[in-house]
A = this chain, B = another copy of it.
Amino acid sequence: MRFKILNQVFFNAIDNVSRALSTKTPMPILKAIKTDVTKEGIFLTASNANITIKQFVAKEVDGQKIMEIEETGSAAIPGRLLLEVLRKAHSEYVELALYEEKMVKITFGNSEFTLNCYDVREYPNISLISSTDPIRIKAKELAQLINQTVISVSTNESRPILTGVNLWVENNELICVATDSYRLSRKVVTLSEPRTEPINIIVPGKSLQELSRILVDFDEEVAIHLSPNMIAFEFDHLIFQSRLISGKYPDTNRLIPQNFGLELTMDRQELIDVIDRVSLLSREGATNIIKFDIYEDKTIVSLESPEIGKVTEEIVPKHQSGSLIRIGFNSKYLLDALRVLEDDEVTLKFTGEVRPFVIVTKDVTVTQLILPVRIE
């Protein structure tokens, strides 16, 4: 194995696959990035218990030569170290060569790194799923879908199902829901073609967060492949495969109220600033329960902590309709929801003081729901 490659291209590819590197693992070889050099280009693979990422770097892109391959071959190179070496190689090209099947030499400028490698023959054989008829979705839409739902996945491993995002298809709609049983996020994406086969899966929230970080740089279509226990996202010569969580996700359709007695429309950034300030008292104190006292002409947002003090903020809604209530809930949930919504205005819709309320925007595809707590 011996090749010379544009460092910026190689670094970006290594950076992508390194998101699947294991840090703590009973299999040390999973700290390596498997590097397979063929005549057409380089395949890079990294894997951990949840996800596998495989990226192909083509020899040429749009007529631009990316690399020169002198010798094909494979190596299992320590992933983190390779990434850091490339990050600090202030050089246009880097050259990699395998020696004695157990060391890789990385050279650039006046620098030469020799890294001990793992035995590539011991790298586990990970099969990647594929299908001829994948679900297709734009990368930006997929990233938005993830960001707007993943806030509500549970971090509590005692109910593993709730640590995932539930995805299912109804006709030509892909529906995504996450809930930790205190709040819920729901997003609907319209597919270009209706699907006939039944799809209803649970994808680990952490996998989706890693995927979302890679998607940031892309602006094209993603193909989604499914198997009974795997999901794979394919885009730009990259396959991101995650295990699925088995089990039956709770039915969340009934949870979102449809009729509301009170609607408040507010400036999103203004409300973020208010909740952010009010939350200052919750950080050091025992409670993070804020109260909304909704009057005809204004809403008072408040938080009281006997040890620390109290804060009240007044906010004048842009529009308001319906009867008045007083409601208490976790300030963090509202802040998370407001931050992933994208319109300038948000509408809070209430049905009662102890009933869930929703936060929506002009973009009707996304709904955030929060369960209130009883307050005195």
- A294 CB, nearest partner CB in chain B, Å: 15
B110 touches A314 (CB 8 A): yes
Is A64's beta carbon under 8 Å from chain B? no
Choose the segment among A219-227, A233-241, A276-284 that binds chain B (4+ C-beta atoms closer than 8 Å). A276-284
A88 touches B311 (CB 8 A): no
Is A103's beta carbon under 8 Å from chain B? yes
| Set B89, B307, B308: member contacting A277, Cβ < 8 A | B89
| Set B80, B115, B274, B312: member contacting A309, Cβ < 8 A | B115
Chain B contacts for A78, CB-based, 8 A: 308
Chain B contacts for A343, CB-based, 8 A: none
Chain B contacts for A339, CB-based, 8 A: none
Inter-chain CA distance A274–B273, complex, in Å, is: 45
Closest B residue to A88 by CB, please name it. Answer: B277
Closest B residue to A103 by CB, please name it. Answer: B309
- A267 CB, nearest partner CB in chain B, Å: 12
A116 touches B309 (CB 8 A): yes
Kindly supply a per-residue 1/0 record for chain A positions 93-121, scoring 1 wherever the CB is within 8 Å of any chain B CB and 0 otherwise: 00000000001000000111111100000
A280 touches B88 (CB 8 A): yes
A85 touches B277 (CB 8 A): yes
- A264 CB, nearest partner CB in chain B, Å: 15
Inter-chain CA distance A311–B277, complex, in Å, is: 50
A97-153 interface with B by 8 A CB criterion: 103, 110-116
Inter-chain CA distance A110–B307, complex, in Å, is: 23
| Set B116, B273, B307: member contacting A307, Cβ < 8 A | B116
Closest B residue to A313 by CB, please name it. Answer: B111
Is A92's beta carbon under 8 Å from chain B? no
Chain B contacts for A114, CB-based, 8 A: 309-311
B276 touches A309 (CB 8 A): no
Closest B residue to A105 by CB, please name it. Answer: B309
Inter-chain CA distance A273–B90, complex, in Å, is: 9
Inter-chain CA distance A310–B313, complex, in Å, is: 60
Q: A88-B273, A116-B307 are in contact. List 13 more A-B contacts (CB 8 A).
A: A81-B280, A81-B281, A88-B280, A89-B277, A90-B273, A110-B313, A110-B314, A111-B274, A111-B311, A112-B311, A113-B280, A113-B281, A113-B311
A residues apposed to B, CB below 8 Å: 78, 80-81, 84-85, 88-90, 103, 110-116, 273-274, 276-277, 280-281, 284, 307-315
List the 6 closest pairs (A to B, CB-CB), nearest first: A110-B314, A115-B309, A113-B311, A114-B309, A116-B309, A88-B277
Listed A/B pairs (21) with beta-carbon separation below 8 Å: A78-B308, A81-B281, A88-B273, A88-B276, A88-B280, A90-B273, A110-B313, A110-B314, A110-B315, A111-B312, A111-B313, A111-B314, A112-B311, A112-B312, A112-B313, A113-B280, A113-B311, A114-B310, A114-B311, A116-B307, A116-B308
